[in-house]
């Protein structure tokens, strides 16, 4: 099978390497920085540079770009895709991109399935990519109603090392991801701004590392993701502020019993 991977950053580069390790498929790769594409070819992660001519030969497209760039690439190039090909994006928000691309995909006989690999590290770029990034990770898929290539896509990503596949609607994806991923990055970034952050050495351990790890984010990508999902994310921020006020109230009121109850409630939720 021939697969095109568009965008050879951390996710796209790791996918290319996972394909080469786990399958016999031919990989066509493209990155806006041509030196990255050439490096991927030299290292054997990619077989050939992708172009509009090769698009007509590829059975599967994985678009590992920021949401806006992913939609733009698809709309600009879908007319060159092989009829019956499958395209999966990897953007961290799904409702807008799935809505944007449905008509064009159907018009050109292409199967588009929204995707979100739940894997990553705090470093970005091809130079940090590795084939095992997706080991034991989950892949979220958001197909259009009646999509008959879903099983093919599920099986393919499992071959690349993913341990599970979740299938949901684009709208539900964005609601849940606002809490499980986006809010965590907001909290980490805000937490890291304390005046004591530069004095943590010798005073910090695992809890500090856990809370600050994802503050080392790619601000361009995450700002785009946050803005595209701002309604859901604002709701989660408001809910968190309300919960923090409960802890603040218990502390300011010297209410030890209330504080213990609040801590117990959180403990029970995360333990179940």
pLDDT of residue 122: 80
What pLDDT was estimated at residue 123? 84
**What angle separates helix 230-252 from helix 170-177, to the nearest 10 degrees?**
30
Residue 105: what pLDDT?
97
What is the model's pLDDT at position 211? 93
Place of tokens 């172009």: 51
Q: What is the pLDDT of residue 73?
A: 98
Q: What's residue 272's pLDDT?
A: 85
- Tell me the two tokens of residue 207: 């809890």
- Map out the domains of the chain as residue ranges: 2-168, 174-271
Q: What is the DSSP string of 97-162?
A: HHHHHHHHHHHTT-EEEEEEEE---S--SGGG--GGGGTT-EEEEEEPTT-TTHHHHHHHHHHTT-
- Check if the beta carbon of residue 55 is closer than 8 Å to that of residue 36: no
Correct CATH for 174-271 of 3.30.450.70, 3.50.50.60, 1.10.1060.10, 1.10.3660.10: 1.10.3660.10
Phi-psi region of 202 (alpha: psi -120 to 50; beta: other; left: phi over 0): left
CATH of 2-168, one of 1.10.760.10, 3.40.50.2300, 3.30.200.20, 3.40.50.720: 3.40.50.720
| Amino acid 155: pLDDT | 98
pLDDT in tens, 14-56: 999 999 999 999 999 999 999 999 999 999 999 999 999 999 9
- Say which DSSP state 228 is in: H
The residues, ordered by sequence, that sit 6+ positions from 68 with a Cβ below 8 Å of its Cβ are: 224
- C-alpha to C-alpha distance for 170 and 167, rounded to whole angstroms: 9
Return the percentage of the chain with pLDDT > 90, whole number: 96
Q: How many residues does the chain have?
A: 272
pLDDT score recorded for residue 192: 96
Which pLDDT score, from 0 to 100, does residue 19 have? 98
Average pLDDT by consecutive 10-residue portion of the chain (272 residues)?
A: 97 98 98 97 98 96 97 98 97 97 96 96 91 96 96 98 97 98 97 94 91 93 97 98 98 98 97 90
Dihedrals phi, psi of 27, to nearest 5 degrees: -110, 125
Give the model's pLDDT for residue 180: 97
Predicted pLDDT at 265: 97
DSSP alpha helix (H) spans, the chain: 10-22, 34-42, 52-55, 67-77, 95-107, 150-159, 170-177, 183-191, 206-212, 219-228, 230-252, 256-271
């Amino acid at each position: 099978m021939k697969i095109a991977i568009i965008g050879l950053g951390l996710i796209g580069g790791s996918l290319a390497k996972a394909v080469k390790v786990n399958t016999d498929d031919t990989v066509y790769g493209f990155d806006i920085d041509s030196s990255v594409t050439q490096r991927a070819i030299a290292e054997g992660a990619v077989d050939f540079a992708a172009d509009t001519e090769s698009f007509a030969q590829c059975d599967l497209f994985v678009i590992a770009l920021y949401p806006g760039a992913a939609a733009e690439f698809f709309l600009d190039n879908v007319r060159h895709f092989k009829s019956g090909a499958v395209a999966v994006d990897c953007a961290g928000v799904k409702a807008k991109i799935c809505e944007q691309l449905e008509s064009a995909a159907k018009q050109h006989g292409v199967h588009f399935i929204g995707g979100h690999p739940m894997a990553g590290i705090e470093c970005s770029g091809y130079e940090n990519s590795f084939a095992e990034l997706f080991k034991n990770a989950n892949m979220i898929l958001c197909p259009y109603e009646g999509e008959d290539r879903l099983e093919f896509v599920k099986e393919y990503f499992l071959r690349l090392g993913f341990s599970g596949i979740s299938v949901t609607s684009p709208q539900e994806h964005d609601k849940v991801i606002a809490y499980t991923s986006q809010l965590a990055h907001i909290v980490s970034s805000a937490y890291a701004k304390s005046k004591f952050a530069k004095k943590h050495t010798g005073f910090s351990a695992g809890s500090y590392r856990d809370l600050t790890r994802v503050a080392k984010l790619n601000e361009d990508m995450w700002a785009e993701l946050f803005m595209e999902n701002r309604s859901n994310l604002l709701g989660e921020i408001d809910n968190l502020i309300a919960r923090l006020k409960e802890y603040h109230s218990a502390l300011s009121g010297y209410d030890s019993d209330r504080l213990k109850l609040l801590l117990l409630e959180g403990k029970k939720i995360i333990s179940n």
